[in-house]
């Protein structure tokens, strides 16, 4: 018998081992739910799979009686729009600011401290300020996402720029590059894939801020719906929504990774994005 | 024709004297190899030629004018590593220098101009023997090929001086001798002035037309940084007698033992 550390699962075995925890969680839920429902058929805490199916059907495939919208899709659209705009703005700001303070020492001296301080402010603590300034509309929610993840992204981009080998920066200068040319032809293209990686890491935080903002003030959105149906203990809606958000988060991450590999093929031989 | 002149040049960091009182005149087209124990200041010397370090005292002239204290297109460089851009393929790496000169705003050429630059770059690639891998990314090339690329990339700007910082230090011996043939060939064809740092004394002897050895004239055992290094041997063209090689080799060995 080989040592445990030298035993590799076969391909099928890998799938099976990977699926096992999911199957176990499902089984545990099924058993627990059945037990509870046997005692009290009206139990709302652990609905049966039938109840889930029914709730999903109501939310996703039947127009709402009040508004006529298909709620799941309307919520998803609203949330993804806020997330997309928020993350997009953050990425753009952090790319510009991060590169500038990463490569130009004079700008770094004056902006790096302020970015560090801003990154330490807990974004949720200033949510009330945002609501006061921007009202309860879309702007406040998007601003929260931007404020929440931009400082992290700026600092990441800045560090990536500063981690570029000095040899490359010197080499570009010996090829006659001006500061601007060096930024657009050497720094920017090498930092873009790193920005995508940083955005992937910051998506979790972006979802957190989105759901928090929606929970407090919104008329639609995944976070809004979750906190609305909480009042009715509607676990049959909440759990599918949580799974749906998880799936969306997974898909965004996957798509960003594919984008990075597709748009920057030179990373593949370098062992970049994985 | 004088190309590079150093007059009473010193380099110090506070009390730490790295180089002291260096006087040197280099004519255009010389192939200078620099050797010396590690920490002897040969890299600092090269950095001053490159413009990333400034002399503390004295003059450093390029074609009669003080050398610019930041890197520019007059001085090409090949480092031991990280000399080529990983995000550009081989030919784009070579085109880059020309594009910087032609397009101020984007640093990128388009259309017929681009085709022209590309043809020029292709020619340069043929010269260093990389014509067949023009469209590959540098990371897929071997170390020797990457260094060939770095040389081509530097040469396309037609610098007045080519600086090589242990360019072949990381290569296998076989590849290294190919690279020696290449660099000699390029030097003969272009007549460019070359400064090359090497750890390998025989390499320095074989390649250069002039070998400079950096070492300290004086030693203060209590304060090793009190005195800086200067040029202890300046051996001209073709003096490749075995006895000279042994002489230098011995002084360098003694030096390393005392360090």
DSSP structure class, residue B40: S
For residue range A108-157, list pLDDT tens digits in order: 999 989 998 988 889 889 888 988 999 888 899 999 999 999 999 999 99
Whether residues B240 and B171 fall in one domain = yes
B positions 240-259 inside 8 Å of A (CB)? none
Whether residues B259 and B168 fall in one domain = yes
C-beta atoms of A175 and B72 within 8 A: no
Contact status, residue B23 vs residue B16, Cβ threshold 8 Å: no
Q: In angstroms, rounded to a whole number, what is the distance separating the alpha carbons of residues A217 and A112?
A: 33
pLDDT value for B229: 77
On whether residue B81 sits in a domain, the answer given is no
Whether residues B175 and B94 fall in one domain = no
pLDDT value for A160: 95
Range of the domain at B227: 1-74+162-259
Whether residues B124 and B231 fall in one domain = no
pLDDT value for B213: 85
Backbone angles phi, psi at B32, to 5 degrees: -100, 130
Handedness of CA A226, A229, A233, A235 (dihedral sign): negative
Contact status, residue A104 vs residue A224, Cβ threshold 8 Å: no
In this structure, how many other beta carbons lie within 10 angstroms of the beta carbon of residue B159? Answer: 22
- A167 closest CB neighbour out of B83, B137, B139: B83
Q: Mean per-residue pLDDT for A98-105?
A: 95
Whether residues B174 and B236 fall in one domain = yes
3-state helix, strand, coil in chain A (%, to 5): 80, 0, 20
Whether residues B58 and B98 fall in one domain = no
Question: CATH no. for residue B172?
Answer: 3.40.50.300
To the nearest whole Å, the CA of A189 is away from the closest chain B CA by 7
On whether residue B101 sits in a domain, the answer given is yes
Query: Residue B254 above 70 pLDDT?
Result: no
Tell me the whole-structure pTM to 2 decimals.
0.85
Total residues found in chain A within this entry = 274
What six digits make up the tokens of A50? 């039938």
Domains and CATH numbers, chain A: 14-37+46-53 (no CATH), 63-267 (1.10.3720.10)
Mean pLDDT of chain A: 91
pLDDT value for B245: 61
Band of pLDDT at residue B257, cut at 50, 70 and 90: low
On whether residue B80 sits in a domain, the answer given is no
Whether residues B67 and B175 fall in one domain = yes
Q: Chain B residue closest to A176 (CA)? A: B73
pLDDT value for A269: 56
On whether residue B23 sits in a domain, the answer given is yes
On whether residue B166 sits in a domain, the answer given is yes
Band of pLDDT at residue B25, cut at 50, 70 and 90: confident
To the nearest whole Å, the CA of B203 is away from the closest chain A CA by 24
Whether residues B259 and B138 fall in one domain = no
Q: Chain A residues within 8 A (CB-CB) of chain B?
A: 165, 167-168, 170-178, 180-181, 184-186, 189-190, 264-266, 269-270
DSSP structure class, residue A267: G
Tell me the chain A residues in contact with residue B72 when contact means C-beta distances shorter than 8 Å: 173-174, 176
- Max mean pLDDT among B34-38, B119-123, B249-253 falls in B119-123
Q: What angle do CA B215, B218, B219 make, to 5 degrees?
A: 95
The arrangement of strands across the sheet holding B31-36 comes to B65-66, B57-62, B2-13, B16-27, B229-235, B210-216, B31-36, B193-197, B161-165, B75-78
C-beta atoms of B157 and A270 within 8 A: no
Q: In angstroms, rounded to a whole number, what is the distance separating the alpha carbons of residues A8 and A30?
A: 32
Q: In angstroms, rounded to a whole number, what is the distance separating the alpha carbons of residues B190 and A181?
A: 28
Which of B158, B173, B203 is at the close of a domain?
B158
- A270 closest CB neighbour out of B84, B99, B139: B139
Band of pLDDT at residue B240, cut at 50, 70 and 90: low
Whether residues B255 and B131 fall in one domain = no
b/e map B11-35, b = 16+ CB within 10 Å? beeeeebbbbbbebebeeebbbbbb
Q: In angstroms, rounded to a whole number, what is the distance separating the alpha carbons of residues A77 and B113?
A: 46
Q: Chain A residue closest to B137 (CA)? A: A266
Q: Choosing among B107, B162, B195, which should be mutated to test the A contact, i.e. which has the most A CBs within 10 A? A: B107
Contact status, residue B8 vs residue B23, Cβ threshold 8 Å: yes
Interface pTM (ipTM) of the complex? 0.87
Which of B158, B192, B208 is at the close of a domain?
B158
Whether residues B259 and B179 fall in one domain = yes
Band of pLDDT at residue B96, cut at 50, 70 and 90: very high
Q: Mean per-residue pLDDT for A71-92?
A: 95
On whether residue B5 sits in a domain, the answer given is yes
Whether residues B169 and B253 fall in one domain = yes
C-beta atoms of A176 and B100 within 8 A: yes
**Interface contact B86, partner A, CB < 8 A:** yes
Which of B127, B158, B189 is at the close of a domain?
B158
- Max mean pLDDT among A118-127, A167-176, B229-238 falls in A167-176
C-beta atoms of A170 and B85 within 8 A: no
Tell me the chain A residues in contact with residue B159 when contact means C-beta distances shorter than 8 Å: 174
Whether residues B44 and B5 fall in one domain = yes
Residues 6+ away with beta carbon under 8 Å from A250: none
The number of domains in chain B is 2
Tell me the chain B residues in contact with residue A190 when contact means C-beta distances shorter than 8 Å: 85-87
């Amino acid at each position: 018998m080989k040592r445990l550390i030298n035993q590799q699962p076969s391909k099928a075995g890998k799938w099976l081992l990977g699926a096992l925890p999911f199957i176990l969680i499902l089984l545990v839920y099924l058993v627990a739910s059945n037990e509870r429902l046997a005692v009290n058929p009206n139990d709302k805490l652990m609905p049966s799979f039938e109840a889930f199916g029914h709730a999903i059907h109501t939310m996703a495939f039947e127009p709402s009686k009040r508004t006529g919208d298909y709620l799941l899709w309307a919520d998803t659209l609203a949330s993804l729009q806020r997330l997309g705009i928020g993350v997009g703005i953050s990425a753009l700001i952090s790319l510009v600011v991060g590169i500038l303070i990463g490569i130009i020492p004079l700008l770094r001296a004056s902006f790096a401290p302020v970015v560090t301080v801003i990154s330490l402010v807990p974004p949720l603590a200033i949510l009330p300020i945002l609501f006061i300034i921007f009202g309860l509309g879309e702007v406040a929610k998007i601003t929260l996402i931007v404020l929440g993840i931009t400082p992290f992204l700026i600092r990441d981009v800045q560090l990536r720029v500063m981690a570029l080998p000095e040899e490359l920066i010197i080499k570009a200068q010996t090829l006659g590059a001006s500061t601007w040319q060096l930024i657009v032809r050497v720094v920017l293209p090498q930092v873009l894939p790193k920005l995508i990686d940083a955005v992937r890491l910051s998506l979790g935080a972006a979802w957190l801020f989105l759901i928090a903002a929606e929970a407090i003030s919104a008329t639609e959105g995944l976070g809004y719906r979750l906190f609305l149906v909480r009042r009715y203990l509607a676990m049959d809606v909440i759990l599918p929504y949580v799974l749906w958000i998880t799936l969306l988060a997974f898909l965004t991450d996957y798509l960003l990774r594919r984008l990075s590999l597709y748009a920057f093929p030179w990373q593949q031989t370098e062992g970049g994005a994985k | 024709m004088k190309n590079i002149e150093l007059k009473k040049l010193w380099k110090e960091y506070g009390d730490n004297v790295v180089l002291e009182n260096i006087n040197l005149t280099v004519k255009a087209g010389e192939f200078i190899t620099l050797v010396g124990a590690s920490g002897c200041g040969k890299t600092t010397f090269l950095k001053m030629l490159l413009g990333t370090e400034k002399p503390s005292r004295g003059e450093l002239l390029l074609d009669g004018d003080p050398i610019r204290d930041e890197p520019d297109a007059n001085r090409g460089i090949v480092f031991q590593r990280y000399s080529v851009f990983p995000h550009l393929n081989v030919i784009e790496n070579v085109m880059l220098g020309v594009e910087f000169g032609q397009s101020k705003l984007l640093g990128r050429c388009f259309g017929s101009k681009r085709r022209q630059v590309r043809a020029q770059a292709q020619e340069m690639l043929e010269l260093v023997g990389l014509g067949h891998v023009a469209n590959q990314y540098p990371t897929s090339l071997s170390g020797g090929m990457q260094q060939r690329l770095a040389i081509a990339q530097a040469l396309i700007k037609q610098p007045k001086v080519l600086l090589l910082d242990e360019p072949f230090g990381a290569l296998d011996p076989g590849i290294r001798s190919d690279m020696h043939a290449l660099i000699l060939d390029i030097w003969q064809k272009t007549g460019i002035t070359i400064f090359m740092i090497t750890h390998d004394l025989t390499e320095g002897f074989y390649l250069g037309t002039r070998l400079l050895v950096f070492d300290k004239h004086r030693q203060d055992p209590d304060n090793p940084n009190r005195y800086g290094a200067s040029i202890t041997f300046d051996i001209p063209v073709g003096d490749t007698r075995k006895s000279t090689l042994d002489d230098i080799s011995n002084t360098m060995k003694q030096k390393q033992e005392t360090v």
